Structure 1
Amino acid sequence: MAKAIMIQGAGSNVGKSMLVAGIARALTARGYKVAPFKPQNMSNNAAVSADGGEIGRAQALQARACGLPPHTDMNPVLLKPETDIGAQVVVQGKRIATLKARDYGKMKATLMPAVLQSFHRLAQDVDFIIIEGAGSPAEINLRSGDIANMGFAEAANVPVVLIGDIDRGGVIAQLVGTHTVLPVEDRDRIKAFAVNKFRGDVSLFQDGASAISDMTGWADLGTIPWFSAAHRLPAEDIMDIASSGDGPIKIIVPRLSRIANFDDLDPLAAEPNVRIEIIEAGRPLPLDGDLILLLGTKSTISDLADLRAQGWDIDIQAHLRRGGHILGICGGYQMLGKWIEDPQGIEGRAGRHAGLGLLDVTTVMSPTKRLAEVTAIDKDTGTRLSAYEIHIGRTQGPDSVQAWLDIDGRPEGASAQNGRIKGCYLHGLFAADDFRHSYLSQFGLTDPHVNFEAGVDDTLDALATHIETHMDIDHLIALAKTV
């Protein structure tokens, strides 16, 4: 029977996802068969799972840390924000509804049986489950019907380790304050704490850690220094994407409001000769870029309207007049076409919307989502790549004749006749080293390219060593409970 322990945070973005990946890798290295689990995640950065559904990208990385293929049971509830007040609800890998926050609040308690079903299925095949919470249990206004933090810990009867983030300041207040506001039964589920993201001499915080233990009664599992290689791991949180690099090849990325699957940037950012420049709202797109990359989005039509409101459509035209290239992936591909038709109002008001008109294709939105892992060939170079599709809508038109990718004899994507404007539905294509190098060679990349996938595994190994060095893993194992 499996043992389990839950890692919760004293706030959002305290590093829970990375710590779970590191702990999972460390336990795997010790010989345990480990699985990650996150009852509820909110992210537009999703991965296609081995069983044909979708889960949060962080859980896919955690599965990789365990040496397992990603599975929908690892993240049974995924919320994908579509508007400021609503999100798509994905349960055990399949979309079931799009709900406003208030309506989801009424629904979430009904999802606990599916969450527990997934959890117990995982427990049948592994020795250890590392569970990741969401947000913070201190959000006691969300406790009723909770499935993400203490509600799940109570239902599954698992102990909790609480993580604080010292980098943002006030870590003693984060942890002791959480202890103060929690009801006694939730407070008692927390058995230990750890402090994450410390910069400098860890010994200087020993008095602080002792104070936390004295005021809460929780065991101290360690103060974990800042992991400097974190940027080499795929990011899930939109807060984590940022400009990077200073190489001669400059890639411009407009930061769309509902940007999705932005881990497509990670392999490019790993190249030392590439500079990624993220352009925030209110700034023009620079004219000196080699490539403008339009990434996926959870809401193509509204993000296209925002793009125009920023004047970025004019900047794109100026970029092309200067001989620049543009690539659209998924929602970015749909934007490049002449028309986006949404007859059923899937993204809002039903109707026909003008695209950027840079590719002679039309997208028709439909409720059926395509989720698939694929192997494709770049027709221009013959290089093979593995990728995945996760989208609604079908795109076709005259420029589809210049499809530049082939998936088992099926043409994929579209290209303008000048070859400088391309689009496709494939996420993850830049993770293929040979394809990435051949694509970047048109902008002057000549040096040997990075082995991206090996780099991710090397970083996971380094993270596991980091965790083993600074966190009391033996104590964590002793705290875990059989489920």
Structure 2
Amino acid sequence: MTRAIMIQGAGSNVGKSMLVAGLARAFVRQGLRVAPFKPQNMSNNAAVTVDGGEIGRAQALQARAARRDPVVDMNPVLLKPESERGAQVIVQGRRTGTLKARDYAREKPRLMQAVLDSFRRLCDGCDLVLVEGAGSPAEINLRTGDIANMGFAEAANVPVVLVGDIDRGGVIAQLVGTHAVLPPADRDRIRAFAINKFRGDPTLFDEGLVAIADRTGWPSLGVLPWFDGAWRLPAEDIMDIRSHAGDGLKVAVPRLRRIANFDDLDPLNADPSVDVLIVQPGQPLPGDADLVLIPGSKATIADLADFRSQGWDIDLAAHVRRGGHVMGICGGYQMLGRVIADPDGIEGAPQTVDGLGLLDVSTVMTPEKHLSLDSATYLPTGDALRGYEIHVGRTEGPDTARPWLRIDGRPHGAQSADGRVRGGYLHGLFAADGFRARYLSELGHAGPSYRFEAGVEDALDALADHLERHIDLPRLLSLAAPPKV
């Protein structure tokens, strides 16, 4: 019989996604068939699934932790912000439109049915479904029509574990305050609590656990110390990509306002001999960078305008004159061309804008979104790699006659005559150890090889070990119950 348990947070960024990944790996090692589920996610960092849709990348990592292929039912509603007030709405892997926040609230009853349908399908063939909430259930102003936290837990009859983040301070107030503001029925769905991100000796918080339990009636599942291996796992948020200094090859990445699918940075960030510098707005692109990597964007034309407003176009031109290398991926590839045309107003008002002009290509935005999982070959060396495409737009021009990839038998990408500026739509290519080593060696990288995928697996196992040492997993599992599906 399938059982389910929901991990909710007393605030955003308490570590729910990582906890679900660690729990998935821990319980699958016990022989259970485990699946992750997040009713609603908001992220521009998406993954392409084996069934041809897209979900939040955090759920793809959780699926990997559970040793399952990611499918759209693991994250049936994905919101991808396109502006300060509007987001593209992905339902069961497919774009259904763009809505403003106020309009989205009216769509929640319809979306709840899609959420429950996906949850029902996911439960088939599973022993345990680990459900991740979004934000905090204490946001009671959002409770009406909620599909992300207690609204889903009520509809599917799933018990809840509440997690607090002690690293931010005020964790007792986080948990006790949540208890105080929740309506009784929601409060009663919480069966236990846990503390995450403790630095130092966890026994120093014993009195804090007692204070929380006395004021809420919820039992404690334990205090989880800070997990030092988290940096080896793919980041859910761009803020989790660390700029780190050292003596290795330097990769500069401009922080686009609407940066998307930045998992391309994870393997570089994890490589101890590569220095990744996230260049924040207001900062210049560094003059000593070996590579400037322009990542994907959810709104290419708007981010290109921001790129110019920061003066990064001038910095990038100087970088190229000095002999530096540039790579643009997806939206970054489109920016490197001569022209971006949006005749149908995909990204706003119909318009045509000049690109950065470093590649002799032009892009036309098209209504259809391209989603695919790809097998590719790096043409200069023959190294094989796998990745994915997730984009709107078609790019053509003379520099595409110099492809540097072959995807499923067809040439892909474009490069300048000297090969120092390259662009393409394939995400995930740096995860291939062979390609990454060959490409970086062309830039002068002479550091030791780093096995990224093996490092992710090692980190997931280490995270599961960490949870087994510090959290009462038998008790947590005993709290899981058959859902109402």
Q: Residue by residue, what CA displacement relative to the aligned partner does 1:206-249 show, whole Å, maximum 9, x if unpaired?
A: 00011000000001000000000001000112321231241320
Kindly state the Cα deviation for residue 448 of structure 1 after the two structures are TM-superposed. Answer: 3.5
Separation in structure 2 between the aligned mates of residue 328 and residue 285 of structure 1, nearest angstrom? 15
> Who is 1:400 aligned against?
400
Separation in structure 1 between the aligned mates of residue 478 and residue 35 of structure 2, nearest angstrom? 18
> Who is 2:232 aligned against?
232
- SS of 1:36's equivalent in the other structure is strand
> TM-score, normalization: structure 2?
0.99
AA aligned opposite 2:295: L
Separation in structure 1 between the aligned mates of residue 10 and residue 25 of structure 2, nearest angstrom? 23
Kindly state the Cα deviation for residue 444 of structure 1 after the two structures are TM-superposed. Answer: 2.2
Q: Which moved more, 1:231-240 or 1:250-259?
A: 231-240
4+ residue runs over 4 A deviation? none
Residue 58, structure 1, aligned to residue 77, structure 2 = no
Separation in structure 2 between the aligned mates of residue 362 and residue 101 of structure 1, nearest angstrom? 34
> Who is 2:86 aligned against?
86
> Who is 1:471 aligned against?
471
- SS of 1:272's equivalent in the other structure is coil
Mapping for residues 32-431 of structure 1, pairs under 5 Å: 32-431=32-431
- SS of 1:481's equivalent in the other structure is coil
AA aligned opposite 2:401: V
Q: Is the 8 A contact 1:297 1:331 kept in 2?
A: yes
- SS of 1:365's equivalent in the other structure is strand
Separation in structure 1 between the aligned mates of residue 401 and residue 421 of structure 2, nearest angstrom? 14
AA aligned opposite 1:126: C
Separation in structure 2 between the aligned mates of residue 245 and residue 20 of structure 1, nearest angstrom? 31
Instruction: Please provide the CA RMSD for this pair.
Output: 0.8
Where structure 1 has 5 or more consecutive residues not aligned to the other structure, the ranges are none
Separation in structure 1 between the aligned mates of residue 326 and residue 66 of structure 2, nearest angstrom? 37
Separation in structure 2 between the aligned mates of residue 385 and residue 238 of structure 1, nearest angstrom? 24
- SS of 1:242's equivalent in the other structure is coil
- SS of 2:390's equivalent in the other structure is strand
Kindly state the Cα deviation for residue 72 of structure 1 after the two structures are TM-superposed. Answer: 0.3
Separation in structure 2 between the aligned mates of residue 263 and residue 246 of structure 1, nearest angstrom? 21
> Who is 2:30 aligned against?
30
Kindly state the Cα deviation for residue 403 of structure 1 after the two structures are TM-superposed. Answer: 1.1
> TM-score, normalization: structure 1?
0.99
- SS of 1:370's equivalent in the other structure is strand
Q: Is the 8 A contact 2:242 2:269 kept in 1?
A: no
Q: Residue by residue, what CA displacement relative to the aligned partner does 1:355-403 show, whole Å, maximum 9, x if unpaired?
A: 1011111111111111100011111111111010011111011110011
Q: Residue by residue, what CA displacement relative to the aligned partner does 1:262-293 show, whole Å, maximum 9, x if unpaired?
A: 11111111222110001100111111000000
- SS of 1:188's equivalent in the other structure is helix
AA aligned opposite 1:432: A
> Who is 1:15 aligned against?
15
Kindly state the Cα deviation for residue 141 of structure 1 after the two structures are TM-superposed. Answer: 0.6
Q: Residue by residue, what CA displacement relative to the aligned partner does 1:128-184 show, whole Å, maximum 9, x if unpaired?
A: 000000000001111111000000000000000000000000000000000001111
Separation in structure 1 between the aligned mates of residue 376 and residue 278 of structure 2, nearest angstrom? 28
Kindly state the Cα deviation for residue 447 of structure 1 after the two structures are TM-superposed. Answer: 3.8
Separation in structure 1 between the aligned mates of residue 231 and residue 271 of structure 2, nearest angstrom? 13
AA aligned opposite 1:323: G
Q: How many residues align?
A: 483
User: Percent identity among equivalent residues?
Assistant: 66
- SS of 2:401's equivalent in the other structure is helix
AA aligned opposite 2:243: S
Where structure 2 has 5 or more consecutive residues not aligned to the other structure, the ranges are none
Separation in structure 2 between the aligned mates of residue 248 and residue 66 of structure 1, nearest angstrom? 34
Q: Which moved more, 1:224-233 or 1:447-456?
A: 447-456
Separation in structure 2 between the aligned mates of residue 379 and residue 151 of structure 1, nearest angstrom? 51
AA aligned opposite 1:272: P
